[in-house]
């Protein structure tokens, strides 16, 4: 009886708070929220803990230690008010009304969840790495007695529900479940894992299983960074259905989900990072961007411990900031994220730049190709202990709206690497496995690095012959840079001094122009800028594109529409990096400069010394035209009667054209044989297949 009175008086006090709390504007905030529930079709009311604490500090403290009683009383207080103003709606959602606590100040890291906090309300932050399918959970099951038709109810306790042994009325043992007298709610299991940046060195990430119910289901997806408010529960471990151990498992019962960096629980306001940009930071950011040397300073602040490589550093900064994803009227999108590929000799600081990029980029992740699988990169479907199929997010899904750096790209198994094809162009990741068919967002920029095939980059070979990567994947990179380690006395001396200086005095030598923390905030801030393309920038990009399309009348392709889009992305990213609201002429010019730099290294046909994008597509124009000439001469020698062609004659003819050397001719002959274009009818004589 006393307990009943306590819970009733508790509900009364909470009702007083809900009815009487006024916000700064003098509005009855929570009464209005309850009043709006019907119009919004909502079953929950979100209470700001700070408001609650301001109104009744004593009760607010109680919620940490007695969350079950308090939340139950809160629910009943909301129902009382709702019943008064919208009785029909109250009747309909009577079993589903939930009070959710936001802005909860009792926070712990996932590492600090221990036996002390069992049955307490706490807030934890982390990244959602798994979410299960949605299942109906019985909150109450009615069992109909087959003898007297009495309904015997079984209440949910934890995640267990005990069927009554006999009827409360007639002791009949035959009871049958009656769905009409049962109440079900949506249920989902989610796994929350420590944020990568919170992970202490040398430790494995901690995680906690979270159960979410009702309208909280499907509110977070793998890859989301959330602040979860919930009650810590325990569950006894079972060896078999009969044997239970004295070991218990921790589980959290979700009460509210807020998105890190965003507003309170609204998914749309979910922004890029937990990193909060205060007005003071904003002032500093704007002051940095307004200086005339802002661009150079930003580049100089990227990986200051790496000497030189300014163009690559600039490209990585543009990659982190990215461009805008355009949504077209028909629902399709034009990707705004860029992909950059670095290929080069070992020891040229590629990995250092990748690691630094992952560190400063909002939602940045670093992984190495050698230890990554297709499922680890994209998403995996796994079966939980309870038998529920769950979707586990991989790196590119976790890095959604961020950056994924993949080192040692060439050392990945081809079947694992091929999983990235969809990600890099469509920006989605589709899984169809174990009964789950899902398309996850993977709007991530990819920065990868690889070594050349034979250890060192061969300047006499084209890029596709130097890198062991499939051509379709190579064409998905907006920028490809070849980093070569060529001895140059002056440069080497400066690099050596720089490295030695770092070893002597770490702080002084690698001091960035802009502090790393501020740079990180700067980039997160820049990602929110939405510049529009100016006419001047459009004209410059168009002129360059048209000029490059006409480089050779013979049909050599230097740039394609894919590069045109890449140019727009680069120019927009530069405008964003400088916090401009318009993409101006200098942004377009700089984008062209970067593409030109790429074409001069990776896009150069070593046979002709000319820029030819065919190199990146597998066959440069020079090779295509040589092959054409090869076939023409062969056909001419064979004549209309298709006579056998003597090897010596054929090679001499090829050399006479001036486009083939003896070795060249022999190589082409061998290739043509391998491809099945010609065959050796008798020793030294060939015929067309």
- Which residues share a beta bridge with 179? none
Cβ proximity to other proteins, 97 vs 480, nearer residue: 97
CB of 24 to other proteins, least distance (A): 12
Binding to other proteins in span 90-119, by CB under 8 A: 92
* Ramachandran class of 26: left when φ > 0, alpha when ψ lies in -120 to 50, beta otherwise: left
Q: List the one residue from 36, 421, 562, 648 that touches other proteins (CB under 8 A).
A: 36
CB nearer to other proteins: pick between 241 and 329: 329
Contact (CB, 8 A) for 212 and 129: no
Residue 331 or 658 having the CB closest to other proteins: 331
Count of C-beta atoms within a 10 Å radius of residue 348: 22
> What's the closest the beta carbon of residue 92 comes to other proteins, in angstroms?
7
> Is residue 382 at the binding interface for other proteins, with CB under 8 A as the rule?
no
CB of 34 to other proteins, least distance (A): 10
- Least Å distance, CB 89 to other proteins, is 5
First to last CA, the chain: 98
Angstrom CA distances, 390 to 97, 195, 234, stand at 28, 20, 21
Element (H, E) at 138: strand 135-145
Q: Which is nearer to other proteins, 43 or 430 (CB)?
A: 43
Nearest distance from C-beta of residue 448 to other proteins, angstroms: 41
Task: State the number of binding residues for other proteins (CB under 8 A).
Answer: 12
Q: Which is nearer to other proteins, 39 or 683 (CB)?
A: 39
Q: Considering beta carbons, is residue 34 or 317 the nearer one to other proteins?
A: 34
Stretch touching other proteins by CB under 8 A, among 82-90, 304-312, 410-418, 437-445: 82-90
Q: Which residues are bridge partners to 682 per DSSP?
A: 685
Q: Where are the alpha helices (DSSP H) in 86-203?
A: 87-92
Contact yes or no for 149/225 (Cβ under 8 A)? no
Residues 6+ apart with CB under 8 A from 417: 369, 409, 469, 470, 473
The correct pick among 3, 58, 88, 490 for binding other proteins (CB under 8 A) is 88
Nearer to other proteins, 92 or 488 (CB): 92
- For the bound state, the minimum distance from the C-beta of residue 90 to other proteins, rounded and expressed in Å, comes to 10
Tokens standing for 204?
A: 């494995």
Q: Which of 3, 5, 24, 26 binds other proteins (CB under 8 A)?
A: 26
Single out the segment in contact with other proteins by CB under 8 A; choices: 37-45, 227-235, 527-535, 593-601.
37-45
Q: Which is nearer to other proteins, 28 or 307 (CB)?
A: 28
The angle that helices 535-549 and 561-577 make with each other, rounded to 10 degrees, is: 150
Contact 273, 261 (CB under 8 A): yes
Stretch near other proteins under the rule CB under 8 A, chosen from 87-95, 173-181, 358-366, 573-581: 87-95
Return the residue of 43, 64, 80, 89 that touches other proteins, per CB under 8 A: 89
Torsion angles phi and psi, residue 33, rounded to 5: -60, -40
CB of 83 to other proteins, least distance (A): 14
* 394-423 binders of other proteins (CB under 8 A): none
Phi then psi for residue 457, to 5 deg, are -70, 125
User: 101 with 67: CB under 8 angstroms?
Assistant: no
Question: What is the C-alpha radius of gyration for the chain, rounded to an integer number of angstroms?
Answer: 33
| Closer residue to other proteins, CB minimum distance, 81 or 440 | 81
CB 138 within 8 A of CB 182: yes
What's the closest the beta carbon of residue 29 comes to other proteins, in angstroms?
A: 14
Backbone region of residue 276 per phi and psi (left: phi > 0; alpha: psi in -120 to 50; beta: other values):
beta
8 Å CB contact between 164 and 175: yes
Select the residue interacting with other proteins from 41, 555, 561, 676 (CB under 8 A). Answer: 41
- How many beta carbons lie within 10 A of that of residue 280, not counting itself? 8
Cβ proximity to other proteins, 40 vs 165, nearer residue? 40
Helix (H, G, I), strand (E, B) or coil at 8: helix
Using CB under 8 A, which of 35, 150, 368, 625 touches other proteins?
35
Residue 66 CA from chain centroid, whole number: 38
Minimum distance of other proteins from residue 88's CB (angstroms): 5
Calculate ∠ Cα 430-434-437, nearest 5°. Answer: 30
Taking each helix axis as running N to C, give the angle between helix 516-526 and helix 310-321, from 0 to 180 degrees, rounded to the nearest 10. 50
User: For residues 92 and 530, which CB has a smaller minimum distance to other proteins in the complex?
Assistant: 92
Q: How far apart are CA 463 and CA 459, in angstroms?
A: 9
Of 2, 4, 24, 40, which one interacts with other proteins (CB under 8 A)? Answer: 40
Residue corresponding to tokens 């090869």: 630
* Closest CB to other proteins among residues 38, 277: 38
Quick one: which segment of 39-47, 136-144, 348-356, 529-537 binds other proteins (CB under 8 A)?
A: 39-47
Distance (Å, whole) CA 208 – CA 215: 21
Q: How far is the CB of 26 from other proteins (least distance, A)?
A: 6
The window from 83-91, 148-156, 160-168, 360-368 that contacts other proteins (CB under 8 A) reads 83-91
Site for other proteins (CB under 8 A): which residue of 1, 2, 24, 39? 39
- What residues line the site for other proteins (CB under 8 A)? 26, 35-36, 38-41, 85-86, 88-89, 92
């Amino acid at each position: 009886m006393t307990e009943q009175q306590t819970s009733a008086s508790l509900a009364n006090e909470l009702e007083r708070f809900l009815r009487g709390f006024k916000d700064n504007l003098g509005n009855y905030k929570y009464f209005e929220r309850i009043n709006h529930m019907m119009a919004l079709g909502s079953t929950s009311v979100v209470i700001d803990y700070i408001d609650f604490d301001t109104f009744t500090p004593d009760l607010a403290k109680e919620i940490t230690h007695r969350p079950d009683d308090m939340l139950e009383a809160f629910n009943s207080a909301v129902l009382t008010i709702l019943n008064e103003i919208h009785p029909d709606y109250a009747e309909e959602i009577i079993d589903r009304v939930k009070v959710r606590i936001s802005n909860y100040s009792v926070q712990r890291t996932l590492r600090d969840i221990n036996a002390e906090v069992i049955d307490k309300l706490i807030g934890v932050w982390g990244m959602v790495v798994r979410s299960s399918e949605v299942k109906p959970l019985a909150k109450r099951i009615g069992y109909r007695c087959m003898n007297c038709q009495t309904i015997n109810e079984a209440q949910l306790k934890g995640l267990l529900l005990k069927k009554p042994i006999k009827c409360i009325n007639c002791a009949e043992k035959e009871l049958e479940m009656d769905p009409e007298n049962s109440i079900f709610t949506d249920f989902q299991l989610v796994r929350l894992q420590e944020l990568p940046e919170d992970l202490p060195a040398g430790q494995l990430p901690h995680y906690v299983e979270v159960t979410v119910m009702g309208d909280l289901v499907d509110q977070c997806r793998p890859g989301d960074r959330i602040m979860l408010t919930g009650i810590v529960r325990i569950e006894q471990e079972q060896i078999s259905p009969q044997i239970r151990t004295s070991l218990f498992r921790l589980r959290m019962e979700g009460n509210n989900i807020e998105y890190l960096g965003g507003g309170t629980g609204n998914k749309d306001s979910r922004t890029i990072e937990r990193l909060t940009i205060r007005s003071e930071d904003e002032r500093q950011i704007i002051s940095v961007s307004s200086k005339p040397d802002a661009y150079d300073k930003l580049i100089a602040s990227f990986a200051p411990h790496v000497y030189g490589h300014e163009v690559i550093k600039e490209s990585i900064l543009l990659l982190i900031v990215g461009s805008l994803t355009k949504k077209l009227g028909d629902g399709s999108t034009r990707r705004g994220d860029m992909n950059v590929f670095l290929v080069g000799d070992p020891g040229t600081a590629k990995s250092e730049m990748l690691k630094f990029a992952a560190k400063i980029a909002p939602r940045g992740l670093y992984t190495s190709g050698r230890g990554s699988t297709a499922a680890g990169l994209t998403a995996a479907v796994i079966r939980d202990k309870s038998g529920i199929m769950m979707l586990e997010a991989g790196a590119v899904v976790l890095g959604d709206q961020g950056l994924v750096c993949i080192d040692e790209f060439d050392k990945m198994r081809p079947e694992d690497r091929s999983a990235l094809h969809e990600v890099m162009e469509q920006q989605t990741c589709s899984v169809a496995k174990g009964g789950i068919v899902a398309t996850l967002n993977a709007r991530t920029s990819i920065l990868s690095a690889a070594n050349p095939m034979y250890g060192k980059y061969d300047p006499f070979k084209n890029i596709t012959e130097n890198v062991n990567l499939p051509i379709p994947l190579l064409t998905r990179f907006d920028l490809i840079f070849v980093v070569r380690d060529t001895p140059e006395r002056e440069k080497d001396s400066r690099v050596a001094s720089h490295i030695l200086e770092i070893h002597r005095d770490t702080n002084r030598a690698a001091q960035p122009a802009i502090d790393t923390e501020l740079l990180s905030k700067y980039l997160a801030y820049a990602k929110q800028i939405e510049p529009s393309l100016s006419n001047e920038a459009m004209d410059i990009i168009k002129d360059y594109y048209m000029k490059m399309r006409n480089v050779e009348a013979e049909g050599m392709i230097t740039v394609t529409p894919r590069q045109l889009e890449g140019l727009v992305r680069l120019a927009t990213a530069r405008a964003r990096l400088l916090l401009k609201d318009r993409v101006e002429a200098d942004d377009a010019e700089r984008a062209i400069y970067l593409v030109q730099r790429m074409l001069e290294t990776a896009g150069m046909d070593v046979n002709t010394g000319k820029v030819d994008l065919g190199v990146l597509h597998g066959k440069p124009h020079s090779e295509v035209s040589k092959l054409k000439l090869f076939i023409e001469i062969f056909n001419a020698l064979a004549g209309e009667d298709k006579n056998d062609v003597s090897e010596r004659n054929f090679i001499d003819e090829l050399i006479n054209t001036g486009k083939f050397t003896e070795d060249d001719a022999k190589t082409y002959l061998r290739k043509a044989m391998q491809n099945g274009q010609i065959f050796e009818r008798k020793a030294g004589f060939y015929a067309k297949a």
